[in-house]
Structure 1
Amino acid sequence: MTVTVAAVDADAQPGTLRVPVLRAYRFELVKLVSQWRIRLLVLACWTVPGLFVAAVSQQSTLPTDTLFGRWMHATGWAGPLVVLGFAGSWALPLLTSVVAGDVFAAEDRLGTWRHLLVAVRSPQRIFAAKALAALTVILLLVAGMVASSSVGGLLTVGNRPLVGLDGHLLSPSDAAGNVLLAWVCVLAPTLALAAIGLLGSVVLGRSPIGLLLPALVAVAMQLAQMLPLPVALRLALPGYAFITWHRLFTSPGQPRELLISVAVSLVWVVVATGLAHHLFMRWDFTNATDDGIGRRALTIALLPLAALLAVTFGVVAVATPSMGSGISQAKVQQSVATAFAHLYRMQTAQLNRPAVTEAQLAVTAACDRSGGQVDPQGPGNDWRCVVTWHLPGAAAPGTALYQLNVTSDGRIEADGDGPKEVNGYFLVRTPTGDAPNPLWQFDGTVELVSTSLKG
């Protein structure tokens, strides 16, 4: 016999004793944590990042193609940021799939909806308890990744200053605060994927597609970020905050993209969770032959999300001048010149040379694409810059060449191309021994929605 959700709704039956939300939440949390795969994930998140950071930090070669990877020998705060970059692309979407994508589908597979609905006597409380339990486990997993990677880096390398994306030095306390804030910011897109997982778990029932939905959405968003999309559309995607935490590591900070992307992610959390709750309250989950709500509800779930994407895209496009790539020649030149000036002073201190100020250096950069044959704007790996600076008492200015790879999210990867005395070698010989050459390769960033420079 089929028992519908409405039949056991205690709100429609005055006098019926309902189980408190806190008690139902504890019950759902115990059910989640008792699963072997959840326990394995908790153990992995609290140990593997720290072991990874410790192992990589002691290697002779570093993941220089990863943001902050080139600084893992220099400070323990680089490790948590390297882990964060990987986690935003792969780990966090998979974790939300395993936890949130299965929280409702598990009851459907086991056929235990009837017992749960009769015991709790309130579908609303069941939904709240399951959502809160999933949220708690996700927060526990993220906290483990932060703590493990931070401890691994600090024990292996030490609590030292961190080089920001524009070459300026962050003190250990500032680095610690920014690292923690960066992880807090990526909670917003993580919860957005978790809300999508809840929705998929409700709509698709025992179908494995529901379990994989957050990961599939994350992969789709990553592929979209590789396309030549306008900045407004990038910001309208709920996962863009997995990237914009980079903006915390410049001086001054570039918070506009980060705040917009976090706000968009939180809107997706509210809408997707609301849809999941609405469909949960309407459907019968006790029918053992039903694999989910079906095509009609899938359409009901997809259309509001598609509309939300369109609305957020329109709002961001109107609020910011972001219909282009956001990458212009002037922005690239300013970013390269700023980073080079900061890092040149760092190299000067390493070599025990007379100190200079950035005003004295007066660094400028002249950048083009493909030798001037391509319009100097937009992402690409064919950017080339000639950096010029001045030293007090020198008759002629110094120059250095850099080949640039500018990605669609505004990240700049600069690779030194001479002279060898400045950026030709990975190491420089200092009075205390060989040390990494900060001018050999460096990262920079372009603020895509900035209005200070054209493009």
Structure 2
Amino acid sequence: MTVTPVNNELAEQPGLQGAQEAQGAQGLRRLDDRATVASRVSVVRVYRFELVKLVSQWRIRLLVLACWLAPALFVAAVSRQSTLPSDTLFGRWMHATGWAGPLVMLGFAGTWALPLLTSVVTGDVFASEDRLGTWRHLLVAVRSPRRIFVAKSLASLTVILAFVAGLACSSAVGGVLAVGNQPLVGLDGHLLAPSDAAVKVFLAWACVLAPTLALAGIGLLGSVALGRSPMGLLLPALVALAMQLAQMLPLPVSARLALPSYAFIAWNGLFTSPTQLGPLLIGIVVSLVWAVLATALACLLFLRRDFTNPAYDGSGRRAVVTGLLPLVGLVALTVAVVAVATPSVGSGIQQGKVERSVATAFAHLYRLQTEQLGRPSVTEAQLRASAACNKGAGQVAAEGAGNDWRCVVSWHLPGTTVAGSAVYQLDVTADGRFVADGDGPKEVNGYFLVRTPIGDAPNPLWQFDGNVELITTPPPN
């Protein structure tokens, strides 16, 4: 009987009742917040979950297996053939050393394999959730779109690193086992010891991680922005193809170095003496900037997405404004910065550079041929090799890419007064690489094979590769 007056008294005091209700509501909210924090999954757990999801896909498993087995079989099989891919960089040396095979594989990977592998992984990592309609389940379980994005990005990066590591290690093992741990001839003709060749081969593979990350960032951006559209899956490969086509055009040096795709070929400078680090470092920095910007744009679009719409099919206009325009602006900015920072203008391929590159490579390779034939040794300083080159038989300016370069190389042997000379026809590509094809005399560069005391051997002066540094390097003091 005493409870009723108390309840009536409380009912007659709305202020006190409202205060108690407010305190109760605050307590419930605190409990709910604690439960939310407690139930929020850590990035590490989400990363493991996303990595297992990726690796459980049959196509990812097959690609990982192929990257760890196929390069070794390919390099070993090609190294045993009588004909070599001499039109590829270092292909003509696959019979001589096992370290040429990984570089041939690297050239193929940068052109085709890595863009396609990146598309398969990053181009589908977000779009697959749209196709399966599993975003709601993932968001309820994780309760943080930011953590989901970080975990998916890290899982994709892990798989891509496994691809690159497999391609590098497998091709190196296959080459060394099939041919042997022999010295490697560099792009300027100098001989690298097996240990130096091994270090530079793996360093070259490490350098191509930067442009691969740039393509991975573009893949994340396409997967987030385009939703179920298959264009998200194809975007990294299409962007890589467009950049490769641009590298074939007679672009200025600043425009060429401002594209991430240049880092796929700038590793050539590691195999010259001295190393041509300028273009390589610029290519790596540009690629990393692309990777960071593309990933940040993908994260921005992902966090702004409305996950309550089950019919979501891409960001539409927002994808163009937020995703495409900043990348176009980045291209313009990097072109301007590289143009100001580098002293080279035009194509970067000038007569003086070509002559120095050809003369240097010839001098190194002449010494190699001398050792093969068992002749008295000679140094580059004693040879005093020089080259006189023209383009288009002197009818056009001696600059730029083309297959109409012609060089006459002269050298001097100790104890002789008459200088030797040899003629080479050059095919110079827009990225600075050239192939010098011997055009006589036959005693020097006229035959593919030379007769040595231990049998016939490939003639190093018959045909050789070289590299013209596009950026002008100031001479040492």
TM range (shorter): over 0.9
What is the percent sequence identity of the aligned residues?
Answer: 75
1:4-24, CA deviations, whole angstroms, 9 ceiling, x for partnerless residues? xxxxxx999964521011100
Contact in 2 for aligned 1:321/1:449 (Cα 8 Å): yes
**Matched residues in 2 for 1:292 and 1:436: separation?**
57
Specify which of 333, 339, 345 is matched with residue 311 of structure 1.
Answer: 333
The question of 1:46 aligning with 2:64 is answered: no
Q: Which residue of 2 aligns with 1:4?
A: none
SS at match of 1:117: helix
**Matched residues in 2 for 1:144 and 1:286: separation?**
40
Q: Which amino acid aligns with 2:150?
A: A
Specify which of 364, 387, 392 is matched with residue 386 of structure 2.
Answer: 364
The question of 1:337 aligning with 2:359 is answered: yes
Report which structure shows greater RCO (CA 8 Å, sep ≥6). 1
**Matched residues in 1 for 2:287 and 2:308: separation?**
32
1:424-447, CA deviations, whole angstroms, 9 ceiling, x for partnerless residues? 111111111111110000011111
Q: Which residue of 2 aligns with 1:116?
A: 138
The question of 1:164 aligning with 2:204 is answered: no
The question of 1:380 aligning with 2:430 is answered: no
Q: Structure 1 residues 443, 329: CA separation in 2 closer, same or farther (over 3 Å shift)?
A: same
Q: Structure 1 residues 91, 68: CA separation in 2 closer, same or farther (over 3 Å shift)?
A: same
Residue 450 of structure 1 deviates from its aligned partner by 1.6
SS at match of 1:240: helix
Specify which of 190, 193, 197 is matched with residue 212 of structure 2.
Answer: 190
Residue 52 of structure 1 deviates from its aligned partner by 0.6
Q: Which residue of 2 aligns with 1:138?
A: 160
Q: Structure 1 residues 439, 286: CA separation in 2 closer, same or farther (over 3 Å shift)?
A: farther
Residue 297 of structure 1 deviates from its aligned partner by 2.4
The question of 1:72 aligning with 2:98 is answered: no
Q: Which residue of 2 aligns with 1:429?
A: 451
Q: Which residue of 2 aligns with 1:350?
A: 372
1:271-316, CA deviations, whole angstroms, 9 ceiling, x for partnerless residues? 0000000110000245332211112323321011111111111111
SS at match of 1:102: coil
Q: How high is the TM-score relative to the length of structure 2?
A: 0.91
Specify which of 249, 267, 275 is matched with residue 245 of structure 1.
Answer: 267
**Matched residues in 2 for 1:190 and 1:54: separation?**
26
SS at match of 2:261: coil
Q: Within 5 Å, which residues of 2 pair with 1:210-289?
A: 210-289=232-311
Greater Rg by CA: 2
Q: Structure 1 residues 343, 19: CA separation in 2 closer, same or farther (over 3 Å shift)?
A: same
Contact in 2 for aligned 1:11/1:122 (Cα 8 Å): no
Q: How high is the TM-score relative to the length of structure 1?
A: 0.96
Specify which of 58, 63, 68 is matched with residue 36 of structure 1.
Answer: 58
Residue 323 of structure 1 deviates from its aligned partner by 3.3
**Matched residues in 1 for 2:77 and 2:308: separation?**
50
Specify which of 121, 126, 133 is matched with residue 104 of structure 1.
Answer: 126
**Matched residues in 1 for 2:374 and 2:455: separation?**
12
Q: Structure 1 residues 285, 48: CA separation in 2 closer, same or farther (over 3 Å shift)?
A: farther
Residue 163 of structure 1 deviates from its aligned partner by 0.3
Specify which of 7, 13, 21 is matched with residue 43 of structure 2.
Answer: 21
Q: Structure 1 residues 271, 74: CA separation in 2 closer, same or farther (over 3 Å shift)?
A: same
Q: Within 5 Å, which residues of 2 pair with 1:312-327?
A: 312-327=334-349
1:124-179, CA deviations, whole angstroms, 9 ceiling, x for partnerless residues? 11001000000000000110001110010000000010000000000000000000
When the two chains are superposed, the root-mean-square deviation of aligned CA atoms in Å is 1.4
SS at match of 2:427: strand
Q: Structure 1 residues 357, 206: CA separation in 2 closer, same or farther (over 3 Å shift)?
A: same
Q: Which residue of 1 aligns with 2:151?
A: 129
**Matched residues in 1 for 2:95 and 2:228: separation?**
47
Q: Which residue of 2 aligns with 1:417?
A: 439
**Matched residues in 2 for 1:391 and 1:185: separation?**
40
1:350-390, CA deviations, whole angstroms, 9 ceiling, x for partnerless residues? 00001111111110100001110010011111000000011
1:302-352, CA deviations, whole angstroms, 9 ceiling, x for partnerless residues? 011111111111111111123310010000000000000000000000000
Specify which of 191, 195, 204 is matched with residue 226 of structure 2.
Answer: 204
Q: Structure 1: which 4+ aligned runs deviate by more than 6 Å?
A: 10-14
Q: Which amino acid aligns with 1:91?
A: A
**Matched residues in 2 for 1:237 and 1:202: separation?**
23
Contact in 2 for aligned 1:112/1:286 (Cα 8 Å): no
SS at match of 1:37: helix
Specify which of 77, 94, 104 is matched with residue 116 of structure 2.
Answer: 94
Q: Which amino acid aligns with 2:423?
A: L
